[in-house]
Amino acid sequence: MTVAPNGRTASGRLAGRIALITGASRGLGAAAALAYAGEGAHCVLVARTVGGLEALDDRIKALGGMATLVPLDVTDGPGIDRLGAALHERFGRLDVLLGNAGVLGALSPIGHIEPKLFEQVMAVNVTANWRLIRSLDPLLRASDAGRAIFVTSGVSRRVVAYWSAYAASKAALDMMVGVYAAESAHTKVRVNLYNPGPMPTGMRGEAFPGEDQATLPPLEAHAEGLIRLALPSCTMNGQWVAGDEALSVL
Protein backbone atom coordinates (compact mmCIF):
# COMPACT_ATOMS: atom_id res chain seq x y z
CA MET A 1 0.00 0.00 0.00
CA THR A 2 1.15 3.54 -0.81
CA VAL A 3 0.00 6.89 0.51
CA ALA A 4 -1.40 8.86 -2.43
CA PRO A 5 -1.07 12.67 -2.82
CA ASN A 6 -4.65 13.01 -1.55
CA GLY A 7 -3.67 11.38 1.74
CA ARG A 8 -5.49 8.13 1.06
CA THR A 9 -3.86 4.76 0.82
CA ALA A 10 -3.66 3.49 -2.72
CA SER A 11 -2.68 0.22 -4.31
CA GLY A 12 -1.76 -0.73 -7.85
CA ARG A 13 1.26 -0.44 -10.12
CA LEU A 14 0.95 3.36 -10.23
CA ALA A 15 0.02 3.85 -6.58
CA GLY A 16 1.04 7.28 -5.37
CA ARG A 17 2.09 8.44 -8.86
CA ILE A 18 0.87 11.73 -10.33
CA ALA A 19 -0.16 11.48 -13.99
CA LEU A 20 -1.18 14.38 -16.22
CA ILE A 21 -3.24 13.57 -19.30
CA THR A 22 -4.21 16.03 -22.04
CA GLY A 23 -7.29 15.50 -24.17
CA ALA A 24 -8.60 13.59 -21.18
CA SER A 25 -12.34 14.13 -21.50
CA ARG A 26 -12.96 11.48 -24.17
CA GLY A 27 -11.40 8.87 -26.43
CA LEU A 28 -7.95 7.53 -25.69
CA GLY A 29 -7.32 10.19 -23.05
CA ALA A 30 -10.32 9.12 -21.01
CA ALA A 31 -9.41 5.45 -21.38
CA ALA A 32 -5.86 6.17 -20.21
CA ALA A 33 -7.12 8.18 -17.24
CA LEU A 34 -9.34 5.32 -16.14
CA ALA A 35 -6.47 2.86 -16.56
CA TYR A 36 -4.05 5.00 -14.57
CA ALA A 37 -6.60 5.73 -11.84
CA GLY A 38 -7.41 2.03 -11.66
CA GLU A 39 -3.72 1.40 -10.92
CA GLY A 40 -3.69 3.95 -8.11
CA ALA A 41 -2.44 7.11 -9.85
CA HIS A 42 -3.75 10.57 -9.00
CA CYS A 43 -4.78 11.87 -12.42
CA VAL A 44 -4.54 15.51 -13.48
CA LEU A 45 -7.10 15.71 -16.27
CA VAL A 46 -6.69 18.44 -18.89
CA ALA A 47 -9.36 19.17 -21.52
CA ARG A 48 -11.46 22.03 -22.82
CA THR A 49 -14.86 20.61 -21.92
CA VAL A 50 -15.86 20.91 -18.28
CA GLY A 51 -18.80 18.53 -18.69
CA GLY A 52 -16.58 15.83 -20.13
CA LEU A 53 -14.07 16.23 -17.33
CA GLU A 54 -16.78 16.03 -14.68
CA ALA A 55 -18.25 12.89 -16.23
CA LEU A 56 -14.82 11.26 -16.27
CA ASP A 57 -14.23 12.34 -12.68
CA ASP A 58 -17.41 10.52 -11.69
CA ARG A 59 -16.13 7.34 -13.33
CA ILE A 60 -12.77 7.65 -11.60
CA LYS A 61 -14.44 8.16 -8.22
CA ALA A 62 -16.50 5.04 -8.87
CA LEU A 63 -13.18 3.17 -9.13
CA GLY A 64 -12.16 4.61 -5.77
CA GLY A 65 -9.71 7.02 -7.38
CA MET A 66 -9.16 10.77 -7.23
CA ALA A 67 -8.49 13.33 -9.94
CA THR A 68 -7.72 17.00 -10.37
CA LEU A 69 -9.74 18.65 -13.16
CA VAL A 70 -8.08 21.31 -15.31
CA PRO A 71 -10.37 22.94 -17.90
CA LEU A 72 -7.73 24.29 -20.28
CA ASP A 73 -7.19 24.67 -24.01
CA VAL A 74 -3.73 23.26 -24.69
CA THR A 75 -3.07 26.09 -27.15
CA ASP A 76 -3.11 28.47 -24.17
CA GLY A 77 0.64 28.56 -23.62
CA PRO A 78 0.59 30.87 -20.59
CA GLY A 79 -2.13 28.62 -19.16
CA ILE A 80 0.19 25.61 -19.48
CA ASP A 81 2.91 27.58 -17.70
CA ARG A 82 0.49 28.42 -14.88
CA LEU A 83 -0.45 24.74 -14.68
CA GLY A 84 3.20 23.79 -14.27
CA ALA A 85 3.59 26.32 -11.47
CA ALA A 86 0.43 25.06 -9.75
CA LEU A 87 1.60 21.44 -9.95
CA HIS A 88 4.96 22.44 -8.50
CA GLU A 89 3.27 24.19 -5.60
CA ARG A 90 0.85 21.35 -4.89
CA PHE A 91 2.90 18.22 -5.61
CA GLY A 92 6.49 19.30 -6.23
CA ARG A 93 6.82 16.79 -9.04
CA LEU A 94 5.10 15.02 -11.93
CA ASP A 95 5.55 11.29 -12.51
CA VAL A 96 3.72 10.75 -15.80
CA LEU A 97 2.89 13.05 -18.71
CA LEU A 98 0.61 11.71 -21.44
CA GLY A 99 0.44 14.20 -24.32
CA ASN A 100 -2.69 12.92 -26.00
CA ALA A 101 -4.66 15.98 -27.18
CA GLY A 102 -4.82 16.27 -30.96
CA VAL A 103 -6.90 17.48 -33.88
CA LEU A 104 -7.27 16.16 -37.41
CA GLY A 105 -7.82 19.37 -39.31
CA ALA A 106 -9.06 18.80 -42.85
CA LEU A 107 -8.34 16.03 -45.33
CA SER A 108 -7.81 18.17 -48.39
CA PRO A 109 -5.36 18.95 -51.19
CA ILE A 110 -2.50 20.78 -49.51
CA GLY A 111 -3.05 24.00 -51.44
CA HIS A 112 -6.72 24.14 -50.43
CA ILE A 113 -6.24 24.14 -46.66
CA GLU A 114 -7.08 27.43 -45.00
CA PRO A 115 -4.05 28.95 -43.25
CA LYS A 116 -5.96 29.33 -39.98
CA LEU A 117 -6.81 25.60 -39.95
CA PHE A 118 -3.27 24.52 -40.77
CA GLU A 119 -1.94 26.71 -37.98
CA GLN A 120 -4.49 25.27 -35.54
CA VAL A 121 -3.37 21.70 -36.29
CA MET A 122 0.23 22.66 -35.68
CA ALA A 123 -0.68 24.58 -32.53
CA VAL A 124 -2.52 21.64 -30.95
CA ASN A 125 -0.43 18.72 -32.19
CA VAL A 126 3.06 20.24 -32.00
CA THR A 127 3.38 23.57 -30.24
CA ALA A 128 1.17 22.60 -27.30
CA ASN A 129 3.35 19.56 -26.63
CA TRP A 130 6.46 21.73 -26.76
CA ARG A 131 4.87 24.04 -24.19
CA LEU A 132 4.07 21.02 -22.02
CA ILE A 133 7.68 19.84 -22.22
CA ARG A 134 8.97 23.34 -21.48
CA SER A 135 6.72 23.75 -18.45
CA LEU A 136 6.68 20.22 -17.05
CA ASP A 137 10.16 18.85 -17.70
CA PRO A 138 11.47 20.24 -14.37
CA LEU A 139 8.63 18.44 -12.59
CA LEU A 140 9.35 15.18 -14.42
CA ARG A 141 13.01 15.51 -13.43
CA ALA A 142 11.92 15.98 -9.81
CA SER A 143 10.25 12.56 -9.93
CA ASP A 144 12.20 9.43 -9.06
CA ALA A 145 11.16 8.08 -12.48
CA GLY A 146 9.50 10.66 -14.73
CA ARG A 147 7.77 9.18 -17.75
CA ALA A 148 6.61 11.22 -20.77
CA ILE A 149 4.44 9.61 -23.46
CA PHE A 150 3.20 11.36 -26.59
CA VAL A 151 0.52 10.00 -28.90
CA THR A 152 1.56 9.87 -32.53
CA SER A 153 0.19 8.28 -35.71
CA GLY A 154 1.32 5.88 -38.40
CA VAL A 155 0.72 8.60 -40.98
CA SER A 156 3.75 10.43 -39.61
CA ARG A 157 5.95 7.83 -41.28
CA ARG A 158 4.36 7.39 -44.66
CA VAL A 159 3.10 9.66 -47.41
CA VAL A 160 -0.68 9.67 -47.82
CA ALA A 161 -2.44 12.09 -50.13
CA TYR A 162 -4.69 14.72 -48.53
CA TRP A 163 -3.32 14.20 -45.00
CA SER A 164 -0.73 16.98 -45.19
CA ALA A 165 -1.56 19.03 -42.09
CA TYR A 166 -2.09 16.12 -39.70
CA ALA A 167 0.79 14.05 -41.08
CA ALA A 168 3.19 16.98 -41.00
CA SER A 169 2.21 17.78 -37.42
CA LYS A 170 2.76 14.21 -36.24
CA ALA A 171 6.08 13.95 -38.10
CA ALA A 172 7.18 17.15 -36.37
CA LEU A 173 6.00 15.74 -33.03
CA ASP A 174 7.99 12.55 -33.60
CA MET A 175 11.21 14.48 -34.22
CA MET A 176 10.65 16.88 -31.32
CA VAL A 177 9.96 14.04 -28.90
CA GLY A 178 12.97 12.13 -30.20
CA VAL A 179 15.19 15.10 -29.45
CA TYR A 180 13.64 15.45 -25.99
CA ALA A 181 14.35 11.77 -25.35
CA ALA A 182 17.98 12.21 -26.41
CA GLU A 183 18.34 15.17 -24.07
CA SER A 184 16.80 13.13 -21.24
CA ALA A 185 18.94 10.03 -21.74
CA HIS A 186 21.23 10.76 -18.78
CA THR A 187 18.39 11.65 -16.41
CA LYS A 188 15.71 9.59 -14.69
CA VAL A 189 13.15 10.76 -17.27
CA ARG A 190 12.14 8.39 -20.07
CA VAL A 191 10.35 9.71 -23.15
CA ASN A 192 8.52 7.65 -25.77
CA LEU A 193 5.95 7.86 -28.57
CA TYR A 194 2.83 5.69 -28.72
CA ASN A 195 0.96 5.00 -31.95
CA PRO A 196 -2.40 3.45 -31.07
CA GLY A 197 -3.46 2.74 -34.65
CA PRO A 198 -7.14 2.77 -35.66
CA MET A 199 -9.44 3.58 -32.72
CA PRO A 200 -13.20 4.12 -32.33
CA THR A 201 -12.99 7.87 -31.73
CA GLY A 202 -14.57 11.03 -33.01
CA MET A 203 -11.38 11.96 -34.85
CA ARG A 204 -11.35 8.61 -36.62
CA GLY A 205 -14.97 9.18 -37.55
CA GLU A 206 -14.05 12.51 -39.16
CA ALA A 207 -11.38 10.83 -41.27
CA PHE A 208 -13.40 7.71 -42.19
CA PRO A 209 -17.10 8.64 -41.93
CA GLY A 210 -18.33 5.41 -43.52
CA GLU A 211 -16.32 3.07 -41.32
CA ASP A 212 -18.01 0.73 -38.86
CA GLN A 213 -16.17 1.57 -35.66
CA ALA A 214 -17.50 -1.55 -34.01
CA THR A 215 -14.89 -3.45 -36.04
CA LEU A 216 -12.01 -1.53 -34.45
CA PRO A 217 -10.15 -2.57 -31.28
CA PRO A 218 -11.75 -0.98 -28.21
CA LEU A 219 -10.02 1.90 -26.48
CA GLU A 220 -9.47 -0.26 -23.42
CA ALA A 221 -7.10 -2.41 -25.50
CA HIS A 222 -4.50 0.35 -25.09
CA ALA A 223 -4.69 0.49 -21.31
CA GLU A 224 -1.95 -2.03 -20.57
CA GLY A 225 0.53 -0.59 -23.08
CA LEU A 226 0.07 2.93 -21.73
CA ILE A 227 0.40 1.68 -18.16
CA ARG A 228 3.65 -0.11 -18.92
CA LEU A 229 5.12 3.01 -20.57
CA ALA A 230 4.24 4.96 -17.42
CA LEU A 231 5.81 2.55 -14.93
CA PRO A 232 9.05 3.41 -13.12
CA SER A 233 10.35 0.05 -14.36
CA CYS A 234 10.04 1.13 -18.01
CA THR A 235 13.58 1.69 -19.31
CA MET A 236 12.75 2.37 -22.97
CA ASN A 237 13.66 5.84 -24.19
CA GLY A 238 13.17 7.52 -27.54
CA GLN A 239 11.12 4.64 -28.92
CA TRP A 240 8.14 4.65 -31.31
CA VAL A 241 5.79 2.02 -29.92
CA ALA A 242 2.89 0.71 -32.01
CA GLY A 243 -0.23 -0.21 -30.09
CA ASP A 244 -0.53 -3.66 -31.62
CA GLU A 245 3.07 -4.45 -30.64
CA ALA A 246 3.17 -2.73 -27.26
CA LEU A 247 2.69 -5.75 -25.05
CA SER A 248 5.40 -7.71 -26.84
CA VAL A 249 8.07 -5.01 -26.53
CA LEU A 250 7.27 -3.48 -23.14
Q: Which residues are catalytic?
A: 166
The enclosing H or E element of 20 equals strand 18-22
Q: How far apart are CA 231 and CA 173, in angstroms?
A: 22
The residues near 148 (Cβ < 8 Å, ≥ 6 apart) are 96, 97, 99, 133, 140, 177, 180, 184, 189, 190, 191, 192
CA nearest to 221, candidates 196, 193, 249: 196
How far out from the chain centre does Cα 37 lie? 14
Rounded to 10 deg, the angle between the 27-38 and 50-62 helix axes is: 30
Question: DSSP class of residue 110?
Answer: G
Specify whether the CB–CB gap between 167 and 160 falls below 8 A: yes
Please tell me whether residue 198 adopts helix, strand or coil conformation.
coil
Q: How many CB atoms lie within 10 A of CB 126?
A: 19
CA nearest to 45, candidates 36, 37, 53: 53
